[in-house]
Structure 1
Amino acid sequence: MIHKGQASREEAKSKHNASTVTGVLTVVIVLLTNCKFTISNLMLTNNKLKASDRLALFMENLKSVVFVENIDKFPIVEKGHYYLVCFDLKEGTIEILDNMEKSFVGVADAKSFFKKDTAVKVKEIFFMYLYHVGHRGCQGIRLAKPVIKKLHWSTKSNVMDCGVFLMRHMETYMGSKVKNWRCGLDVEGTKQEVQINNLRLKYAYKILTSDVNIHNKSVVDVAKELDVDDEFS
């Protein structure tokens, strides 16, 4: 039997826990929305910008990004959907990694920059950068056409976890020459759901406890407060 005083304490504790969890989620949202994108929406949609302006913005944003030697990956957010555009500078290929089997991601080109699909716009901006710095792979990228890669683990109905798929693709993609590339995910189904949930926990932990997270200490303190023994432990 729960006494009135005990019930009040439990209710207060429940409200406190709910508010702290909300605070933790807010930290994650702030971290994600305040990050500096290499390819920004401004660069892709502002028709007042010249090609030279887009290049200047790209080069400025590039200062905060570290690339591997031959493979550059650009995470894209389009209409609330996350996917990855990968440039293999050594092979001269452009591959789009999208977890959706029927991807809405387009690869249509056009004379006008603003009529091109997003992946093609990204290609044009990146080519300008490669040409500007004299990279030997620039002509290969100029001639390459973006291709949506078929994925063994693509999904028909999961429209919610594209961000988790994106991060897994960024972790594991090693270039277009790697045959039978697998990111470790099973085909769509119960097993994949478990894998995605585990990855979500992993990425949330990494983001919240990272040294670059200025709220690192407060997040850890909140976690310690929540990790207490009670009748449900």
Structure 2
Amino acid sequence: MNAAPADQIRLLDLQALDVRLTQLAHKRKSLPEHAEITSLEGDLTQHRDLLVAAQTEESDCAREQTKAEQDVDQVRQRAARDQQRLDSGAGMSPKDLENLQHEVASLAKRQGDLEDVVLEVMERREAAQERVTELTGRVSSVQAKVDDAVTRRDAATAEIDAEIAGVTKEREIVAASIPADLIKLYDKLRTQSGGVGAARLYQRRCEGCRLELNITELNEVRAAAADTVVRCENCRRILVRTPESGL
């Protein structure tokens, strides 16, 4: 392939822009905020799960407390009725009175036991409520950190995207000034060679593979016409000659 020396030189400008685009894409992907957000979102999920568990426990305790209080109320009402009957003693035999006294005493003990249950449930519910309050605060705190990290990430991403847009536009201008067949070869080699399709020959060394050309290779390059598109024998990239090539 042949191409004007000036067109070959412009390949180096194009290559520099492509390298910059690759660097910007890597920078965008590797922003520290990405890892920070991932870590914080993991913490947030964990805290939310714990919060849901605490809320469920508090709700269960509330239902249990309501049931226990209802049981106490039923026993209290029954005891009150029995006490009224005992106090009146109307139409009751001594045996009935004795049995009623035993039932009143039994109900008093039952009421005391149930009230202990109510107190125990209330203590568990209070502990669950405190846990809910604590975890709600943690969730809010971590969410605020996530929001801050997302804001910083979005700002950094927007800045990088703006630079990518500028470099892409510049690349379009440079690419438009280079013959299509040369661009086609360059793009093919760039895809095959890790993003570098053209390299400068500097002081007898290919800046693509960093290897110095041997005497035979140098002689072949020296003998090539100025408009010949030379390829590196080692990495097969387009080798662009400049006054600093050392030929």
- Structure 2 length as normaliser, TM-score? 0.25
Bigger Rg over Cα: 2
TM-score, with length taken from structure 1: 0.26
Higher RCO (C-alpha under 8 Å, 6+ residues apart) = 2
Q: In proportion to residue count, which structure has more helix? A: 2
